Structure 1
Amino acid sequence: MSGTPNMTTATSTTTQTTPQTTASTTSFTSFLKSKWRSSTKAVKPWKPIPNTRDYIEQSWVQHNALQMAFDGDYMAPMTQSLLSGGCEVLDIGCGAGFWTMDMATKYPLSYFIGIDVDKNVFPSLSMQKNLFFQRVDIMTSPLPYENDTFDYIFIRSMLDTLPDSCWESVLQEIVRVMKRGAYLECVEPYTNLFDTGPTMSTIMTLIDTTSSIRISSTQQQGLQQQSTMPANYNPWPNRLAPLNTLKEMRIHHTHTPVGNHGGALGSLMVQYWERAIKASSQDWLQTKTTTEKELESLQQDMLTEVESHKTYMAWYSVVAQKKGYTGPTIIIEDVDAQVSEQ
């Protein structure tokens, strides 16, 4: 099975409100206090994708695989700014914070905030002083930050976590909190796998069914929904293109083999799909979409099939910049590195 998403643009309206937060006495949280927007409006709950242990493990495997596939943690031209220090970075839908923690470790002079609807998955161990996690529901409340707060916003594997019709208003909020000249990066897989057999096609159909069930559940809670189409069928380039506040959209493509035929990266992607099946299995069993025996057979057949078909996934990163910055470009030269090269 192969193909690319249809290039269409979704529209929507949604009502959003802002949660409250607390802050410590550190300089970083002082910055947060100055940028946090409060509101007295009630928050309307919704049913997010559950962050079970299987989903968290899947995210960990994905994080490591994409580091290899993209040869790094990001594609936006942010290295010089991150190294110079003082950059404010927002990771939307951070989950357990694997990307956020890695970035905070690599760039100790910049500041990183990870937000997610489920605070229970945030790291409980001690963290770097330049890292902070906050519980924020981006679908039912506007982002709780002042205008022009962040230099860089990162989003990964988030499209199918919200109903399709909610993304337009969410993106407007994202652009609002970006500084002039700030970068937005969105990383997502294409909806279809390539060179698949019948087993993997069945697994993909089951996953699409699970996504549709979650969308239906969200609709029952009264949120406006103009389309039941899974959000990831309308890719990021289509969603960002209508935003006239952004410019210079750049799209980077990469492929990740699924199976040992792809070496270390392919082995990671097999683990990714094994955990994806395990994470969704309870939904499938509860809705009687499949049986335990059928699930066991699917998992075994998948391992053989991806090798014989040499299955692979395709991913893309979209980077766009907010218009309006007219200041100087900061360039940092590492003198020690230049001397060592000579």
Structure 2
Amino acid sequence: MDKYQDISNINFSVEEFRYPFPSGKSEINRSEVQHGIIKYVWQGNFSADMDEKLKKGIRTLDIGCGYGSWISDMAQTYPLSTFIGIDIVSRYFPKDTLPNAGYLECNILNGLPFPDETFDFVYQRFLWSSLTEEQWTFIIGEIVRVTKKGGAIELMEFEMKLTNSGPKTALLFDVSEKFFALKGVNPHIISKIPIMLQSTGKLSNIQCKQETIPLGWGGKLGELALRNLKSGFAAGKSKLMQLMNKSSEECDALINALDKEAEEYKTCMKHVRIFCKKD
């Protein structure tokens, strides 16, 4: 991407971005497991009708690429396409990349550092916990700006509401919602994203698909999904302790109670993909 804007002189704070999980090896592992779960459940890395174009060779952007799991997978699958990942933290970008993949550190709240209509396909997932509604409106505008006419946009988010949750599980999620509200984040933003996309007046064929994932039951998939959820709660345990006025041991007991409750109540979580075309 020889025309990207150099923003190395811009200072920013990761706190400004509101990402709730600490960086480190445990978060890398959690992210990689999550990527595997998503790919298995959805039977692929995306839902937009882009397979044939990707095979022929297009430019693709992954916003909030994290540790590069999606890009690494896609770059190997589609060697004729170019994949660019951007994230606010660069120290965990893959050190060994394929020749058709690259990464840039930038804060998307300053805008996407690319010219108008640069990419054929723009992909973003799981930033619901990091952006306010006002920031979502800005970012969607930027996504539309850098997408080529006729190109595709796909957003994927976790629905912050479980199906068939037990009382202790519900308590953890209620407290988590309060935590995000204190940060100015709407944990149910997924329901508003299609409206935000429509309001740009530049997109068509906006579609939503969802998949339900068992937690702790339903075989290996449920086991991994629950383990991944518990690791997320464990990463944010210090915040839970403050909000609930509970000790570390009490919070551990609540998190560990997820195993029994998920099996008893047959708890499920939902992922939602929203994809559309730029006119």
Give the TM-score, by structure 2 length. 0.91
Q: Secondary structure of 1:89's match?
A: strand
**In the aligned structure 2, how far is the partner of 1:135 from the partner of 1:236?**
25
Of 304-313 and 233-242, more deviation after overlay is shown by 233-242
What per-residue deviation string (whole Å, max 9, x for no partner) do you get for residues 170-221 of structure 1? 1111111101111000111222000001111111123223323433xxxxxx
The residue aligned with 2:218 is: 262
Which sections of structure 2, spanning at least 5 residues, go unmatched?
none
Q: Secondary structure of 1:244's match?
A: coil
Which sections of structure 1, spanning at least 5 residues, go unmatched?
1-31, 216-227, 324-342
Residue of structure 1 aligned with 2:125, choices 156, 163, 178: 156
State the identity as a percent: 28
The residue aligned with 1:25 is: none
> Structure 1 289/77 Cα, relative in aligned 2: closer, same or farther at 3 Å?
farther
For the 8 Å contact 2:63–2:86, the answer to whether it is kept is: yes
> Structure 1 277/119 Cα, relative in aligned 2: closer, same or farther at 3 Å?
same
Residue of structure 1 aligned with 2:204, choices 247, 251, 276: 247
For the 8 Å contact 2:119–2:151, the answer to whether it is kept is: yes
Residue of structure 1 aligned with 2:161, choices 174, 192, 195: 192
Residue of structure 1 aligned with 2:102, choices 132, 143, 150: 132
What is the aligned length?
275
Matches within 5 A, 1:1-342: 32-33=1-2, 35-38=3-6, 43=11, 45=13, 47=15, 48=17, 49=19, 50-53=21-24, 54-85=26-57, 87-124=58-95, 126-139=96-109, 141-215=110-184, 229-230=186-187, 232=189, 234-259=191-216, 261-285=217-241, 289-323=245-279
Q: Secondary structure of 1:262's match?
A: coil
> Structure 1 45/274 Cα, relative in aligned 2: closer, same or farther at 3 Å?
closer
What per-residue deviation string (whole Å, max 9, x for no partner) do you get for residues 60-114 of structure 1? 22211111111111101111011112x1100001111111111011111111011
For the 8 Å contact 2:241–2:251, the answer to whether it is kept is: no
Task: Specify the structure having the higher radius of gyration (Cα).
Answer: 1
Of 47-56 and 271-280, more deviation after overlay is shown by 47-56
For the 8 Å contact 1:76–1:183, the answer to whether it is kept is: yes
> Structure 1 238/57 Cα, relative in aligned 2: closer, same or farther at 3 Å?
farther
Q: Higher RCO, 1 or 2 (CA under 8 Å, sep at least 6)? A: 1
1:285 positional shift: 3.4
Q: Secondary structure of 1:194's match?
A: coil
**In the aligned structure 2, how far is the partner of 1:251 from the partner of 1:145?**
27
1:287 positional shift: 5.7
**In the aligned structure 2, how far is the partner of 1:90 from the partner of 1:289?**
42
1:274 positional shift: 1.4
**In the aligned structure 1, how far is the partner of 2:41 from the partner of 2:236?**
25
**In the aligned structure 1, how far is the partner of 2:188 from the partner of 2:253?**
30
1:284 positional shift: 2.6
1:264 positional shift: 2.0
For the 8 Å contact 1:163–1:231, the answer to whether it is kept is: no
**In the aligned structure 1, how far is the partner of 2:14 from the partner of 2:229?**
27
> Structure 1 289/163 Cα, relative in aligned 2: closer, same or farther at 3 Å?
farther
For the 8 Å contact 1:61–1:271, the answer to whether it is kept is: no
What per-residue deviation string (whole Å, max 9, x for no partner) do you get for residues 228-270 of structure 1? 64463653212212121100111112110111x2122211111
Q: Kindly provide the amino acid, as one letter, of the partner of residue 196 in structure 2.
A: R
1:40 positional shift: 9.9
What is the aligned-residue RMSD (CA, Å)? Answer: 2.0
> Structure 1 186/40 Cα, relative in aligned 2: closer, same or farther at 3 Å?
closer
1:115 positional shift: 0.6
1:321 positional shift: 0.4
Q: Secondary structure of 1:304's match?
A: helix
Q: Kindly provide the amino acid, as one letter, of the partner of residue 208 in structure 2.
A: I
1:121 positional shift: 2.0
